Amino acid sequence: MFSFLASATQPNALETIKDTFGLHGAFFAAQVINFFLVIFVLKKFAFGPIQAILEQRRTRIVEGEEKLKRIEKQLADSEATTAAAIAKANEDALRLVAEAREGAAAFSEQKSQEAIAQAQQILAKAEAAGNADRERISTELKREFGRLIAATTTQVTGKVLTLEDQQRINEEALSKVGN
């Protein structure tokens, strides 16, 4: 060891080191070539494909994350839209119900009025018909009463009554009976 150190300080130290450790130009060059061969092999068959797939996976993860965020945002938007639509539908439904109620009330009122009018009309007609019937019956009764009076008078008196007599007796009898 000490002899090696001593020799290393000599002018031909490099030669001594080369000889001691077997550093040869041809071997050195061959090992450099070997080393570059390893670099080529590893770069082509290991680092290249592995880094490519790692990058691909990283990209996919980033894309997935972005997609997830987009989906979450879309979901939130969709929920907000749905909630707004439901609120609007609710509001519309309430408005329609109110309108329907108002419409129903108005319709009911209208129908009631119509029914009342019809009923009044029917009552008026019935009253008019009743009055007409009473008038007709009264006229018939008067006529029958007159005829009965005239017949009775004819049978009692044995006198054939003229039209004027019949009319006079009827009027007298009717004025006593009243209307």
Partner 1 sequence: MRFALLTLSLWLASLIGTFAAGAGHALPLDAQRLHDWLPVSNSMVMVWMAVGVIVLFCRMATGKMTLVPAGLQNFAEWAVESLYSFLENLMGPHLTKRTFWFFGTIFFFILVTNYLALIPGVGTVGWYLKDSAGHAAGFLPILRGGNADINMTAAMGFTFALLWIYWAVTEIGFGGLAKHIFAPKGSFNGIMQAMMVPIFLFVGVLEIISIAIRPVALSFRLFGNIYGGEQTLEKLMALVPEWLAFLPALPFYFMELLVGFVQALVFTLLCAIFLKLICDHGDEHH
Q: How far apart are CA 177 and CA 49, in angstroms?
A: 134
Among 10, 12, 45, 131, binds partner 1 (CB under 8 A): 45
Q: Is 36 in the site for partner 1 (CB under 8 A)?
A: yes
Q: How far apart are CA 84 and CA 77, in angstroms?
A: 10
Q: How far apart are CA 25 and CA 32, in angstroms?
A: 10
Q: Is 157 in the site for partner 1 (CB under 8 A)?
A: no
Give the long-range contacts of residues 51-60, CB within 8 A, separation 24 or more: none
Of the listed pieces 51-59, 85-93, 103-111, 136-144, which binds partner 1 according to CB under 8 A? 51-59
Q: Is 21 in the site for partner 1 (CB under 8 A)?
A: yes
Q: How far apart are CA 54 and CA 149, in angstroms?
A: 134
Q: Is 60 in the site for partner 1 (CB under 8 A)?
A: yes
Residues binding partner 1 (CB under 8 A): 20-24, 26-28, 30-32, 34-39, 41-43, 45-47, 49-51, 53-54, 56-57, 60
